[in-house]
Amino acid sequence: MRILALACLGLALNQLGAGVYIQLKAALAQQLIAHAWAQPEPGKPWPWADTRPIARLEWPGRGESLYVLSGGRGNALAFGPAHDPASAPPGAPGLSIIGGHRDTHFRFLADVQAGEELLLHSQTGSPRRYQVSRSFIADTRRGPLRAAGDGLLLVTCFPFDALRSGGPLRYVVVARPLL
Amino acid sequence: MQRVLLIVLLGWLGCASAAATTRLEAGAPAPEPLDEPRAGQLRLSGPFGYRPAIQLAAEANIRVTGLVAHVTLSQTFRNDSESWVEGEYLFPLPDQAAVNRLKLVIGERVILGEIKEKQAAKQIYEQARASGRKASLVEQRRPNLFSNRVANIGPGEEVQVELHYIERVAYRDGLFSLRLPTTVTPRYTPALFPAAQGVWQFQHPQPATDAVPIQPITIRAEINMGLPLAAVDAPYHDIALVREQARYQVRLARGAVPMDRDFQLSWRPLPGSEPRAALFHERVGTHEYALLMVLPPDSAGPVVAPDAGLSRELVFVIDTSGSMGGSSIEQARESLGYALRRLTPRDRFNIIEFNSSARGLFPRSVDASRHNLARAAKFVRQLDAGGGTEMLAALELALPLAQADDDRVRQVVFITDGAVGNEVELFRQIERRLGRSRLFTVGIGSAPNAWFMRKAAQAGRGEHVMIGSSLVIQEEMHGLFTRLAQTTLADLDVAWPVAVDTFPKAIPDLYPGQPLLISARAEDSLLNSTVTLSGTGARAGWQTELVAVPAAAGMEAAYTGIGTLWARAAIESLMDEKTLGRDEQAVRDAVLPIALEHQIVSPYTSFVAVEQQPSRPPESGLEKETVANLRPSGQAPQVYAWPRTATDSRFHLLLGCLALVLACVFWRSPAWAWR
């Protein structure tokens, strides 16, 4: 019986470790990125990083502040919301697509309402103001994301409280620039 | 100090749980480019779920004799689903390919396709589809983009579509080459020009197994130049070579390869035996057709004489749009870096970068001083890909309407993958704004839009080069810069013994190492008559004569397809006229008879093959499936790809808590409770 209990304890530690690891990594990385961002020319937040911060998203109403990472390949998403390099650079004219994990950085998107304002800080120049215009749920099985115009698309997985990853649904928040 | 601690902590976390990392990566990464199709486990549950739809395999059989390549391309559609389906596949062909045969192979039956007017062909196909008969329709979507639709493929059935096309091989600097494109770079179409919608639905990546490449292609080639070769090379594939006298057999060393990069084959005759002139002719119907190739002597001198005070102005335009992401932008940076190192202090230069908008490094061209070059080198190192491809803005910057009125040679070098959908508007602007400038295009990436590269360079009276991998950058850019630094052979004239209709209509300027290639249709027999060519080089005049002789033994194939090549060139020239504003109806009336006589697919003619007896019982419905192209190798994710935005952290936490509770229960409960 003791052996069974120890096995369960082992499993518990393993699973808790894995879960905490993901959450810890997400929170910790943002701290390091904040440091890298403060440099005059943002470089790698830690020596073996394969990504770098390119913008900062700020939600004045909720006290949220997130560093957006250059996307490309790899696991930038584990460390922060990542920009899809095929879309326009954040803050530039055109449509920028930023993806983030539903259970770490983009968890708060579940509560975001149309009309909320957010700020996008780029490395240079003044921040650009955006307003959330709408949000919707999309099914990836119906083909790729189609969107046009000027603005930000924040993409995360849906439903927010699903246990496992890899589901087909996405939650998309659309924000349009305020002049 | 705090930061160092954080880094150490993160590093430790990274090592702490290798198992957790694997799990995380299975859930976390952004969409991956499909550059390693064998690495595929993740893609089984790819972003669009598993689709047991139409699978496609292809086989290309290339036969080169003289200057003509005869290519047979078979595409096998296999239906792994439970229902009757229609397969649709969009595929690229070389820009100047003339598709002149279609065969539909179902089991042991062979159905020959017929060339028809486009709408008529479509109608025949739709009728066959509705009545349950197997049918295939091959249409031209763009000059180098074709679609193949196959109707009524039964459950578990295989249908093979065999296409045959003829192409002229390229010849430059003593090197012959041929390109077989296998996938399509998604085109960026600005919102103003909604032309490429038809292309998008074919761009989805498809799930693959890790056992066989999805969409494999096998390629075989035979080269017979009638002379010994010094080298045969395929820069992007491993090949195996067998020689029988002057025939060279090429096949892929690893059998089938995924269709994610263009196949390029090049070969070089032994030094000293390079052909300098050739005249091929063929009789088709009432006309005699000829293909003339002449390599002028290397009498050209440098563009800027060392003692003269003149200098060049070089404007580099570099595409940093999203489609250039991945290895393409690296190749572009490397090419540009090479170009900068080739500048001399007398040159002036500027760099223009464009994606969703265009901006120049300097407001206007500056001297290639050490300081300016250092600034440029830094600028180039920091270039990154992202955003749209608004090429027009860049063109307007590079080719201003009011150009400085001096004797300076002005050369614009455009480095791009040409992933644009508004080509026509761009060509028009190039012609309008060119003035004294010359436009050169450098095609980057594993699947650049070659048609755009060639036509843009033609409109800009310059040249184009293709760079498919970092390995060939040095060589190709060196070649381009050598030509940029040399004068052209001008005022070329060809005197034919009989009345002829030739393409290209205007004979272009020639750079050293570049042959003059002319397709002609003659009213009378050319056999044993003489063609005279003349021109002026930088130093002296030049003249040569050519006699049309019958084909040598074993080289007859070099004389077949000459008429088809002429027809393809004629149609292309007519379509260019339409681009430049000629009435569409008039162009159509001129193209149709040529395409029908020579049996080739054109914007107004399609191939259609229909089975005699219906094979699908009327009560089973027909579903439609598209076969997606692989994303070109090395290209970063495109716009509109869905990110994977969830981790299993909650699942792990929940499972961990449950296990913890169980552990407590087991620990506390006395052993007798379980008896």
CATH number at residue A73: 2.40.260.10
Cα–Cα distance, B450 to B464 (Å, whole number): 9
pTM of the model: 0.58
Task: Pick the last residue of a domain from B484, B518, B553.
Answer: B484
Say which residues have a Cβ less than 8 Å from residue B489's Cβ, sequence separation at least 6: B296, B299, B300, B509, B510, B511, B512, B535, B536, B537, B542
Number of structural domains found in chain A: 1
Which secondary structure element, helix H or strand E, spans residue B477, and what is its range?
helix B473-484
Which secondary structure element, helix H or strand E, spans residue B197, and what is its range?
helix B197-200
Q: Give per-residue pLDDT as tens, A19-73.
A: 888 888 888 888 888 888 887 777 778 777 777 888 889 988 888 888 888 865 4
Task: Determine which of A37, A39, A103, A160 to mutate to test the interface with B (most B C-beta atoms within 10 Å).
Answer: A103
- Our CA dihedral for B359, B362, B367, B373, rounded to 10 degrees, sits at -80
Number of structural domains found in chain B: 3
Residues B462 and B557 in one domain: no
Q: How far is A61 from chain B (nearest CA, A)?
A: 24
Length of chain B: 675
> B615 in a domain, yes or no?
no
Task: Pick the last residue of a domain from B484, B516, B537.
Answer: B484
Contact assessment for residue B90 and residue B141, using Cβ atoms and an 8 Å cutoff = yes
Helix (H, G, I), strand (E, B) or coil at B386: coil
Residue in A5, A32, A99 nearest the CB of B30: A99
Asked whether the beta carbons of residue B641 and residue A145 sit closer than 8 angstroms, the reply is: yes
Residues of A in contact with B650 (CB under 8 A): 19, 103, 161-163
Say which residues have a Cβ less than 8 Å from residue B581's Cβ, sequence separation at least 6: none
Residue type for position B256 = A
State mean pLDDT over A107-133: 86
Asked whether the beta carbons of residue B640 and residue A86 sit closer than 8 angstroms, the reply is: yes
The percent of residues in chain B predicted with pLDDT above 70, rounded, is 77
Say which residues have a Cβ less than 8 Å from residue A122's Cβ, sequence separation at least 6: A54, A55, A90, A91, A128
Can you give the residue range of the structural domain that contains B341? 312-484
Task: Determine which of A165, A170, A171, A173 to mutate to test the interface with B (most B C-beta atoms within 10 Å).
Answer: A165
CATH number at residue B354: 3.40.50.410
Q: Where are the alpha helices (DSSP H) in B242-345?
A: 327-341
pLDDT confidence of residue B566: 94
CA B214 to chain centre: 20
Helix (H, G, I), strand (E, B) or coil at B591: helix
Cα–Cα distance, B246 to B242 (Å, whole number): 11
pLDDT confidence of residue B535: 76
Cα–Cα distance, B279 to B282 (Å, whole number): 10
Residues B94 and B160 in one domain: yes
Which secondary structure element, helix H or strand E, spans residue B5, and what is its range?
helix B2-16
- Our CA dihedral for B134, B140, B146, B152, rounded to 10 degrees, sits at -10
Residues B388 and B436 in one domain: yes
Residues B323 and B339 in one domain: yes
Asked whether the beta carbons of residue A84 and residue B639 sit closer than 8 angstroms, the reply is: yes
> B33 in a domain, yes or no?
no
For chains A and B, CB pairs below 8 A equal: 247
Cα–Cα distance, B238 to B216 (Å, whole number): 15
Contact assessment for residue A130 and residue A176, using Cβ atoms and an 8 Å cutoff = yes
Residues B316 and B294 in one domain: no
Secondary-structure percent of chain A, ordered helix, strand, coil, rounded to 5: 25, 30, 45
Residues B447 and B554 in one domain: no
Is it true that the peptide bond before B181 is cis, omega within 30 degrees of 0?
no
Pick the residue from chain A with its C-alpha nearest to B49. Answer: A141
Where are the strands (E) in B381-506, listed by range?
409-416, 438-444, 464-467, 490-495, 500-503
Cα–Cα distance, A18 to B13 (Å, whole number): 10
Cα–Cα distance, A170 to A101 (Å, whole number): 11
CATH number at residue B80: 2.60.40
Residue in A32, A141, A162 nearest the CB of B7: A32
Q: Which residues of chain B have pLDDT under 70?
A: 1-55, 80-82, 183-215, 297-311, 402-407, 487-491, 506, 508-509, 536-540, 580, 623-641, 670-675
pLDDT band at A80 (very low <50, low <70, confident <90, very high): confident
pLDDT confidence of residue B623: 66
Residues B593 and B605 in one domain: no
Helix (H, G, I), strand (E, B) or coil at B473: helix
Can you give the residue range of the structural domain that contains A81? 2-177
DSSP string spanning B13-28? HHHH-HHHHHHHHHH-
Residues B368 and B433 in one domain: yes
Asked whether the beta carbons of residue A148 and residue B387 sit closer than 8 angstroms, the reply is: no
State mean pLDDT over A112-116: 87
Closest CA to B20 of B579, B655, B667, B565: B655
B545 burial type by CB count under 10 A (0-12 exposed, 13-18 middle, 19+ buried):
exposed
Task: Determine which of B649, B674, B675 to mutate to test the interface with A (most A C-beta atoms within 10 Å).
Answer: B649
DSSP B232: E
Asked whether the beta carbons of residue A144 and residue B204 sit closer than 8 angstroms, the reply is: yes
Asked whether the beta carbons of residue B386 and residue A85 sit closer than 8 angstroms, the reply is: yes
pLDDT confidence of residue B306: 44
B490 burial type by CB count under 10 A (0-12 exposed, 13-18 middle, 19+ buried):
middle
> B284 in a domain, yes or no?
yes
> B624 in a domain, yes or no?
no
B420, β-bridge pairs = B188
